[in-house]
Amino acid sequence: MHKKIKLHLLVNLVAGNNHGKITYAKFAKLLKDSQISFRAQISQYPGEIIKLAKKYANNNHSEDEILVIIGGDGSFNQALNGVKKSLHPNTPLAYLPAGSGNDFARAAKLTTDPQKFLNRLLNNRKIEKVDCGSYSSQKENVIKHYFVNNYGIGFDANVVHQSNNQKMKKILNKIHLGNLIYGLNVINVLQKQDTFTATVTGADGIAHIFHDAYLVTTTNHPYFGGGVPILPKANLHSHVLDTVIVEKPSLRKFVFLFAKMLKDGSHVTDSHFHYIEGKEIRVNVKKPEYTQIDGEDTDKMAHSIQFMIDNFYLIR
Domain shared by 44 and 72, yes or no: yes
Task: Return d(Cα 13, Cα 17) in angstroms, integer.
Answer: 9
| pLDDT exceeds cutoff 90 at 249 | no
Q: Residue 53 has what pLDDT?
A: 98
My answer on whether 141 and 263 are in the same domain is yes
Residues 283 and 305: their CA atoms lie apart, in Å, by 5
Are 143 and 224 part of one and the same domain?
yes
**Per-residue pLDDT at 142:** 63
| pTM assigned to the model | 0.91
Residues 50 and 71 in one domain: yes
Examine the domain organization and report whether 153 and 290 are in the same domain: yes
- Residue 188: per-residue pLDDT: 77
How many other β-carbons are positioned within 10 Å of the β-carbon of residue 171? 12
Domain stop point among 125, 160, 192:
125
C-alpha 315/C-alpha 68 separation (Å) is 9
pLDDT in tens, 30-82: 999 999 999 999 999 999 999 999 999 999 999 999 999 999 999 999 999 99
Q: Does a structural domain hold residue 1?
A: no
Q: Counting every residue, how long is the chain?
A: 316
Q: Is residue 147 part of a domain?
A: yes
Q: pLDDT (tens digit, 9 = 90+) per residue, 251-310?
A: 888 888 888 988 889 999 999 999 999 999 999 999 999 999 998 999 999 999 999 999
Return the sign of the alpha-carbon dihedral for residues 180, 24, 108, 247: positive
In one letter, which amino acid is 168?
Answer: M
Give pLDDT, residue 171. Answer: 53
Q: Cα-flanking dihedrals φ and ψ of residue 38, to 5°?
A: -155, 155
DSSP codes of every residue in 180-210:
HHHHHHHHHHHHHPPPEEEEEE-TT--EEEE
Asked if residue 304 lies in contact with residue 132, where contact means CB atoms within 8 angstroms, the answer is: no
Beta-carbon count within 10 A of 124 CB: 8
Confidence of residue 182 (pLDDT cuts 50, 70, 90): low
37 in a structural domain: yes
**92 belongs to a structural domain:** yes
Residue 315 located in a structural domain: no
How much is the pLDDT for 212? 95
Whether residues 249 and 227 fall in one domain: yes
b/e 50-76 (16+ beta carbons within 10 angstroms → b):
bebbbebbeeeeeeebbbbbbbbbbbb
- The answer on 111 and 140 residing in a single domain is no
Residue 247 belongs to domain with CATH number = 2.60.200.40
Q: Is the pLDDT of residue 95 over 70?
A: yes
Q: What is the Cα Rg of the chain in Å?
A: 20
Among the listed residues 227, 219, 249, the one whose alpha carbon sits nearest the alpha carbon of residue 183: 227
The answer to whether residues 60 and 105 belong to one domain is yes
Angle at 128 between CA 123 and CA 132, to 5 degrees: 140
Query: Based on the structure, what is the number of domains in the chain?
Result: 2
Average pLDDT of the segment spanning 203-221: 96
Q: What pLDDT shows up at residue 83?
A: 98
- For residue 222, the enclosing domain spans 133-310
Tell me the C-alpha to C-alpha distance, in Å, between residue 176 and each of 50, 180, 188.
Answer: 27, 9, 22
Residue 21 placed within a domain:
yes
End position of a domain, from candidates 125, 150, 170: 125
CA atoms within 13 A on the CB side of 40: 17
Binned at pLDDT 50, 70 and 90, residue 17 comes out as: confident
pLDDT band at 1 (very low <50, low <70, confident <90, very high): very low
Summary mean pLDDT of the chain: 91
First to last CA, the chain: 17
Which of 109, 125, 141 lies at the terminal end of a domain, its last residue?
125
Strands (E), the chain: 6-11, 37-42, 65-71, 93-97, 127-137, 145-147, 150-154, 196-201, 207-219, 223-224, 228-229, 241-247, 273-278, 280-293, 296-315
**110 and 164 fall within a common domain:** no
CATH of the domain at 54: 3.40.50.10330
Give 69's strand partners. Answer: 10, 95
Between vectors from CA 98 to CA 168 and to CA 95, what angle results, nearest 5°?
Answer: 145
Q: Does residue 217 belong to any structural domain of this protein? A: yes
Judged on CB neighbours under 10 Å (0-12, 13-18, 19+), 167 is exposed
Say yes or no: 148 and 207 in one domain: yes
241 and 137 both lie in a single domain: yes
40 shares a domain with 141: no
